[in-house]
A and B are shown apart, each in its own frame.
Chain A
């Protein structure tokens, strides 16, 4: 009798505890909750979560980093202007983190912040459909902070036109511009007898030869299959293909937008313009393989984080490397023990190959594709995004994209150039500032149609450079890959190639 009662109590006890556990689990959605916006009336009150990328005041700072505080200041001002609305900054992912995975998983959980960073070229494809809001209607709205103009008019018309997605939508608002350059070790150049920095690719290669004879490693390039390495190959494809195809440029703009976008690239692949059957396209690869003889030793196994080239340069092990405008400040603070400088990326000319045109494509590695690229998720990807909140978030974006504010934000960090009409860059980036209103001519040449293709293309290229594949084999594999992907994209996005 005694034992029986105790057993029943035990069973009850266990059932209750199990039930509590389940309840706790179920009610713990609070752990994963997002802000719920009040839906009273038209105006929004609550917190706007912003992911501000490099400009975020909320990130892990290494000791030699400049702290961007401008956005924090603007957030405070904004709250004073709009009582009830607060702006918070989501902590920035550290450099080298897999941002796209973060974006993907957050959106799957409906937990994206209210402003996210997205590369404009891939706003349509590397993010699933339905994640980002089309901001085009808002561009047409009046800008409350610049009386008399619509939002779109206050930004940079050129850039707004160029950064439209293939379907005509505007998913990303751009506010800064990045350029790249070749960083070089002045002392090594002197010792190798190079008096002026090269301008064309052929001059560049002969500079490499001189450096090599003088006993230096001419160039550092990261060809490891890390995220950065895979991304960097697009620098070379842009540099060369923009030049090679400049003669036919208008032809490449199949979809009629002011740039060569992803859809245009896919169509060019489909038509064979990008592929092994086009000798103009194939001409690049032997050039790159030839270039690889001047690279640092073991370039396929360098520092797993993609910073190998920069670090090798700072340590004085190589004479040159490519990097973005942001690197100048980092190299400065690392205080290398040699004099260094930059020159524009060398571009191909007819001395190199008959397929080159005379176009200076050095600026094609760059564009409005840096930190100030903000997009707003839809409600499905950000469960707190109500129509009222959308209006408020757009308003906040309008606030920070006025000329005065954009300039303050971008110039504080000093790594890029502000693009809003009426802004001025910092003095050392003046040359970059001159590019922003020029048309951005850049094509990836079929590289980077989507993540999967880019990774596979890159690995095939590695095999070619390492001598495991012949040029013909590489051409076959790359072309097949590009075509498969282009067809997949067409299917996913309901593109009809027959129209072009």
Chain B
């Protein structure tokens, strides 16, 4: 039975466990559970319990101050009937699709470029340079970009007028048709430091022999990428896909800080909807219903990716 056919759980646990002898079993469960204890206390108190109460709260109506009132499926029905909810789902779908592609493809491309540089020193220097932007807190980046977009004193507007294009300067954050895309371009050129480093590490883990034989056989760069490098970083890709997507589906801070969901509802995303419902309108129960929907969305998409993307662990020698 090849590795691919066994369920994930046993695949993860076969190698080392097989070697443990039976006589040690008795002595291990105490320390086993014991070592798990601190982490689990934290998790149960501050992750599981809130998650459970989120489910319960989504079925009630609560103003944040007085006691919650149970109201069954009313919140969910309200959501389904609310066009704003569907707009936000559509927006986040576009957002996640586009940005995931960008944030995976670009770092991968850059990682491959760096990997194939001849000078190891330059490799290191480039990695450092691309990681530097990580010292700027996200919020500062958003605030700086909001400055770039300002129609009166923004750099982008000025760039356009310097290039003689002042007539066609887009209304970055004010045009309902492009506001979402303007938000998506925050972070251009999308060389996400963390992703870059993970991909690079994955590339480095490719055994020297494989690359040697490819060189000897005269495999072109494109073929080399698609047939060797890409399959061998699938493990990293899978992890990054999942992490990136989870993060993008929940994004609140960017639209909150830059556009507050506007103009109209063109930059509304479910996360923002949840936040505004709870903290602007005082409708906490409804907000929880939104977050439940996000949760189910994230869960399903992650499960799909988990099942259908197989990391390639075999190499063709």
Given contacts A224-B262, A225-B261, A312-B152, contact A107 B27 (CB under 8 A): no
Please tell me if the beta carbons of B171 and A308 are within 8 angstroms of each other in the complex: no
Please tell me if the beta carbons of B282 and A224 are within 8 angstroms of each other in the complex: no
**Interface window among A180-188, A354-362, A448-456:** A448-456
Contacts of B311 in A (CB 8 A): none
Please tell me if the beta carbons of A224 and B27 are within 8 angstroms of each other in the complex: no
Contacts of A224 in B (CB 8 A): 173-174, 259-260, 262-263
Given contacts A3-B27, A381-B65, A463-B176, contact A296 B152 (CB under 8 A): yes
A224 to B66, CA, bound (A): 33
Determine which of B41, B150, B151, B281 lies in contact with A451 in the assembled complex, contact meaning CB atoms within 8 Å. B281
Please tell me if the beta carbons of A462 and B27 are within 8 angstroms of each other in the complex: no
Contacts of A8 in B (CB 8 A): 30
Q: Which of A22, A98, A304, A311 has the most CB of B within 10 A?
A: A304
A456 to B283, CA, bound (A): 15
Contacts of B64 in A (CB 8 A): 104-105, 107-108, 128
Contacts of A223 in B (CB 8 A): 263
Given contacts A301-B173, A303-B150, contact A130 B65 (CB under 8 A): yes
Q: Number of B interface residues at 8 Å Cβ cutoff, please give it.
A: 44
A107 to B283, CA, bound (A): 15
Please tell me if the beta carbons of A14 and B65 are within 8 angstroms of each other in the complex: no
Closest Cβ of chain B to A131, distance in Å, is: 6
Interface of B (DSSP majority class): loop
A473 to B120, CA, bound (A): 64
Please tell me if the beta carbons of B38 and A128 are within 8 angstroms of each other in the complex: no
Chain B 255-288 near chain A by CB (<8 Å), digits 1 or 0: 0011111111100000000001101111100000
Please tell me if the beta carbons of A4 and B27 are within 8 angstroms of each other in the complex: yes
Given contacts A7-B30, A130-B66, A227-B260, contact A14 B280 (CB under 8 A): no
Given contacts A15-B37, A101-B280, A455-B280, contact A225 B30 (CB under 8 A): no
Determine which of A21, A128, A296, A450 lies in contact with B151 in the assembled complex, contact meaning CB atoms within 8 Å. A296
Please tell me if the beta carbons of A462 and B31 are within 8 angstroms of each other in the complex: no
Q: Is A254 an interface residue when CB atoms closer than 8 A count as contact? A: no
Determine which of A104, A129, A317, A468 lies in contact with B66 in the assembled complex, contact meaning CB atoms within 8 Å. A129
Contacts of A190 in B (CB 8 A): none
Given contacts A10-B30, A128-B64, contact A18 B174 (CB under 8 A): no
Given contacts A4-B27, A300-B262, A301-B151, contact A108 B65 (CB under 8 A): yes
Q: Is A140 an interface residue when CB atoms closer than 8 A count as contact? A: no
Please tell me if the beta carbons of A301 and B172 are within 8 angstroms of each other in the complex: yes
Contacts of A97 in B (CB 8 A): none
Q: Is B149 an interface residue when CB atoms closer than 8 A count as contact? A: yes
Determine which of A301, A312, A315 lies in contact with B174 in the assembled complex, contact meaning CB atoms within 8 Å. A301
Q: Is A371 an interface residue when CB atoms closer than 8 A count as contact? A: no
Q: Is B20 an interface residue when CB atoms closer than 8 A count as contact? A: no
A104 to B276, CA, bound (A): 13
Given contacts A128-B66, A299-B174, contact A11 B34 (CB under 8 A): yes
Given contacts A18-B41, A304-B173, A311-B152, contact A7 B27 (CB under 8 A): yes
A463 to B265, CA, bound (A): 9
A304 to B259, CA, bound (A): 7
Q: Is A226 an interface residue when CB atoms closer than 8 A count as contact? A: yes
A165 to B149, CA, bound (A): 42
Given contacts A226-B260, A451-B282, contact A302 B174 (CB under 8 A): yes
Please tell me if the beta carbons of B280 and A452 are within 8 angstroms of each other in the complex: yes
Q: Is B35 an interface residue when CB atoms closer than 8 A count as contact? A: yes
Closest Cβ of chain A to B160, distance in Å, is: 12
* Segment 290-305 of B: residues with Cβ below 8 Å from A: none
Chain B 13-54 near chain A by CB (<8 Å), digits 1 or 0: 000000000000001001100110110011001000000000
Q: Which residue of A lies closest to B283 (CB)?
A: A452
Given contacts A224-B173, A225-B262, contact A21 B38 (CB under 8 A): yes
Q: Is B229 an interface residue when CB atoms closer than 8 A count as contact? A: no
Q: Is B111 an interface residue when CB atoms closer than 8 A count as contact? A: no
Q: Is A17 an interface residue when CB atoms closer than 8 A count as contact? A: yes
Q: Which residue of A lies closest to B33 (CB)?
A: A11
Q: Is B175 an interface residue when CB atoms closer than 8 A count as contact? A: yes
A483 to B290, CA, bound (A): 24
Contacts of B63 in A (CB 8 A): 128-129
* Segment 302-323 of A: residues with Cβ below 8 Å from B: 302-304, 308, 311-312, 315, 317
Chain B 140-157 near chain A by CB (<8 Å), digits 1 or 0: 000000100111110000
Given contacts A298-B151, A300-B171, A303-B152, contact A451 B65 (CB under 8 A): no
Listed by A's residue number, 28 A-B pairs whose Cβ atoms lie within 8 Å are: A7-B27, A7-B30, A10-B30, A10-B31, A11-B31, A15-B37, A18-B38, A18-B41, A100-B279, A101-B280, A107-B65, A130-B65, A224-B174, A224-B260, A225-B261, A226-B259, A227-B260, A296-B152, A298-B174, A300-B174, A301-B149, A301-B174, A302-B150, A304-B146, A311-B153, A452-B283, A462-B263, A463-B264
